[in-house]
Amino acid sequence: MDISVVIPLLNEYESIGELSAWIVDVMYRYNYSYEIIFVDDGSKDKSWNLIEKLSFENNNIKGIKFRRNYGKSAALNVGFEKAQGEVVITMDADLQDSPDEIPDLVRMIKEENFDIVSGWKKKRFDPLSKTIPTKLFNWATRKMSGIYLHDFNCGLKAYKLDVIKSIEVYGEMHRYIPVIAKWAGFTKIGEKVVQHRERKYGVTKFGLERFINGFLDLLSIVFVTKFGKKPMHLFGTLGTLSFGIGGFVSVWIICEKLYQLSYGTIKRDITEKPAFYLALVAMIIGTQLFLTGFLAEMISRSSHDRNKYLISQTTNINS
């Protein structure tokens, strides 16, 4: 199969029929073998009924339904598990992503050998209250991840099948699939300017709180990808540094006290100096950080799937 199109949705009854017809038209025009996987993330309207009808009329259209809303990441992860196409396309169901972009995305994956191609909605039809925070969010993500994409949150992306079968998307990590993929060994990540269409039906499902949650998720994914298998490298380093600073200040205070004793110029006791308590706190924090790293390392080493991520990056010549 050439292409799998994975579409998470929530209460998008008005747009599903038009979107599926548009995708099918593109597939026929370019003679692709395909499947369309709609993942209904707990819709309360008639979305699922329409998906069932479309699936009955076209065997290439498939559906997965959640009993309640679990979020876009969960929907994508389940869709990725079901996808079988050589190239996997993700897009939103609100008609703001154009299926006419699919052929170019597929070409970049197949001919230019990209692992991931991310859409860039260079010209957006969004209010400033959304575009300005989005620019700040993308800037912070570029700096922290080292991946220089302009639009991490664009729903229109293309992946090699190996990529989506080698990663797990959870929580609200769908924004950072390129980051997750990079740390899984898929480093050829490209970008394509795509058309951003005005929303035709319904209302947006995201508010300003997603930018706060997005930043926290970014910190989480950077920590997990860099230190998930070696937590002692982070906590041990910070603990040693904190304990060392506290120890150095303590020794300095003690030496100063001895010096004053030798010359009979004692001004006040050690316990009367704020630096003594700051040094003590630094040493306690350092000890706690070191112990945290030690415990995290023990838990990590006892995990049964500790080296699972390595298996996905190996190639067996006889497989």
Q: What is the CATH number of the domain that holds 14?
A: 3.90.550.10
pLDDT at 270: 76
| Average pLDDT estimate for 186-211 | 75
User: Which residues are 119's β-sheet partners?
Assistant: 192
Q: How many domains does the chain have?
A: 2
Q: Show the beta-strand stretches assigned E in 21-131.
A: 34-40, 61-65, 87-90, 116-120
Confidence of residue 143 (pLDDT cuts 50, 70, 90): confident
Interval 305-315: pLDDT, tens: 544 444 444 44
Mark whether 208 and 303 lie in a shared domain.
no
Q: Which of 53, 57, 72, 50 is nearest to 6 (CA)?
A: 72
As a whole number of angstroms, the distance between CA 263 and CA 115 comes to 72
> Would you say residue 236 has pLDDT above 90?
no
Q: Quick one: DSSP state of residue 45?
A: S
3-class SS of residue 88: strand
Residue 270 placed within a domain: yes
* 319 found inside a domain: no
Is 223 found in the same domain as 235? no
Mean pLDDT along residues 236-254: 91
Is 317 part of a structural domain of the chain? Answer: no
- Structure tokens, 97: 């992503």
Residue 222 has pLDDT above 80, yes or no: no
Element (H, E) at 30: none
Residues 167 and 245 in one domain: no
Using CB atoms within 10 Å of the CB of residue 319, give its burial: 0 to 12 exposed, 13 to 18 middle, 19+ buried: exposed
When comparing pLDDT for 286 and 264, which is higher? 286
pLDDT at 316: 41
Query: Which of 54-68, 134-148, 257-271 is predicted least confidently?
Result: 257-271
Are β-strands 157-160 and 87-90 bridged in parallel, bridged antiparallel, or unpaired? antiparallel
Residues 205 and 255 in one domain: no
Note whether 147 and 49 are same-domain residues. yes
Q: Is 311 left (phi over 0), alpha (psi -120 to 50) or beta?
A: alpha
C-beta separation of 16 from 93 below 8 A: yes
State the residue range of the domain holding 198. 3-227
- Cα 29 to its chain centre, rounded Å, is 33
Q: State how far the Cα of 156 lies from the Cα of 91, in Å rounded to an integer.
A: 4
In a domain, 316, yes or no: no
> Which pLDDT band, with edges at 50, 70 and 90, does 85 fall under?
very high
Q: Which amino acid is at 178?
A: P
Q: What confidence score (pLDDT) does residue 313 get? A: 44
- In the predicted model, what is the mean pLDDT of residues 192-196? 88
Query: Are residues 39 and 91 both part of a single domain?
Result: yes
Contact between residue 101 and residue 17 where contact means Cβ atoms under 8 Å apart: no
Beta carbons within 8 Å of 281's beta carbon, 6+ residues apart: 246
Give me the helices (H) in 36-126, please: 47-57, 72-82, 102-110
Domain boundary among 195, 211, 227: 227
- Rounded to whole angstroms, the maximal C-alpha distance in the chain is 98
198 and 259, same domain (yes or no): no
Distance CA 270, CA 222 (A): 42
Work out the mean pLDDT of the chain and round it to a whole number: 84
Residue whose C-alpha is closest to residue 42's, from 75, 77, 88: 75
pLDDT of the residue at 125: 63
What average pLDDT does range 154-174 have in this prediction? 89
298 and 185 share one domain: no
Rounded distance between C-alpha atoms, residue 63 and residue 51, angstroms: 6
Give residue 198's pLDDT. 74
- Report the distance separating Cα 40 and Cα 50, nearest Å: 11
Q: Does the pLDDT at position 209 exceed 90?
A: no
Same domain, yes or no: 119 and 249: no
Alpha-carbon span 141 to 215, nearest angstrom: 8
Last residue of a domain, one of 227, 259, 275: 227
pLDDT at 232 over 50: yes
Domain boundary among 227, 259, 287: 227
